[in-house]
Structure 1
Amino acid sequence: MQIGDLSKRSGVHVETIRYYERVGILPQPARQANGRRRYDEADARRLGFVRHARELGFDLSSIRALLALQERPEASCESASRIAQDQLDAVESRIARLLRLRGELSRMVAECGRGRVSECRVIEALAAGETRTR
C-alpha cells in the first residue's frame, strides 16, 4: 500500500508517518521504481501500535523501547510493565494537578461578583498570582 492508503487505514497523517520514519519509529519503507514508498501489513500493524501508544500518552522514547521489547517475545515483560507504570504515574500526577487547577478556577469563578472589571475577583486573583489549594 502507498502512504496515503496507510494514512487512511491508520488514521495517522501522512506527515506524521514521514516523521516517524525520519526518527526511526517506523522503518524506512521499500520504494517502488518511481520512488514512491511502499508499505505492507507489518508497517500498518506497527503504525497502529504507535498510534495507540501515543493516544495513551507515551512519548517517543518509551514507544521506541516498547517496540524493541515487542521484537523479543521471549523476554520478560518487566521492562514494559515499568514503562507503563511510569506512564501511569505521570497520568496520576497530571490528574492531581488538573484537580487542583479545577478547584482554583472554581473558587475564582465563585468569588467573582460579575460586576465591573475593576472589582473582578478573577482579574484580582490572576494579577496577584494567588493560588489556594482546597
Structure 2
Amino acid sequence: MTIAGLARAGGVGVETVRFYQRRGLLDIPRRGEGTGRSGGIRRYGDAELGRLRFIRAAQRAGFTLDEVGQLLRLDAIDDKSRIRAMADARLAALDVRIAEMQAARAALSHLSSACDASGLDPCPIITAFEH
C-alpha cells in the first residue's frame, strides 16, 4: 500500500505517518523500481501497519512518543522486565489520574446540586471557579 493507504488503514493522516518516520518510530521503505506511475513509490505492508497500530494503541494507553520508542527498542532486545516496569509505571500514573478525575467529578456533582438549590444567590459553580 502507499503511504496514503497506510495512513487510512491506521486511522491517521499522511503527515502523522511522516512524523512517526522522522521520529524513528516507523521505517521509511525504499522507493520501488521502474518508471511510470508505479516507479519510485514507497510501498508499505502489514509490518508497517502493525507498527502504526501499536504506536496508536500505546499512545491511547498514555505512553508518550519517547516512551513508545523505548518500548520498541526494548522489544527489539526482548527486555520484558523493563517493558513491564514501564507498563507498571504507566498504570500507577493512570491510577493517580483516575483518582484526580473522580475527585473532580464528585466536586462538580456537589456544585451542580448546590446550583439547583442556590435560588437567587450567585451560582456556586461560577463562584467556585472564580476562587
Q: Taking structure 1 as the reference length, what is the TM-score of the superposition?
A: 0.82
Q: What is the aligned partner in structure 2 of residue 40 from structure 1? A: 45
CA contact 1:6–1:44 (8 Å) conserved in 2:
yes
The amino acid that maps onto 2:122 is E
How many residue pairs match? The answer is 125
Q: What is the aligned partner in structure 2 of residue 59 from structure 1? A: 64
Q: Distance in 2 between matches of 1:79 and 1:98?
A: 28
Q: Percent identity?
A: 36
Q: Distance in 1 between matches of 2:62 and 2:11?
A: 17
Structure 1's unaligned 5+ residue stretches are 130-134
The CA deviation at 1:120 is 1.5
Taking only aligned residues, the RMSD between alpha carbons, in angstroms, comes to 1.9
Q: After TM superposition, what 4+ stretches of structure 1 lie above 3 angstroms from structure 2?
A: 32-36, 113-116
Q: Distance in 1 between matches of 2:2 and 2:40?
A: 11
Q: What is the aligned partner in structure 1 of residue 87 from structure 2? A: 84
Q: For 1:9-24, what aligned pairs fall within 5 Å after superposition?
A: 9-24=9-24
Structure 2's unaligned 5+ residue stretches are 34-38
Q: Distance in 1 between matches of 2:47 and 2:96?
A: 35
Q: Taking structure 2 as the reference length, what is the TM-score of the superposition?
A: 0.84
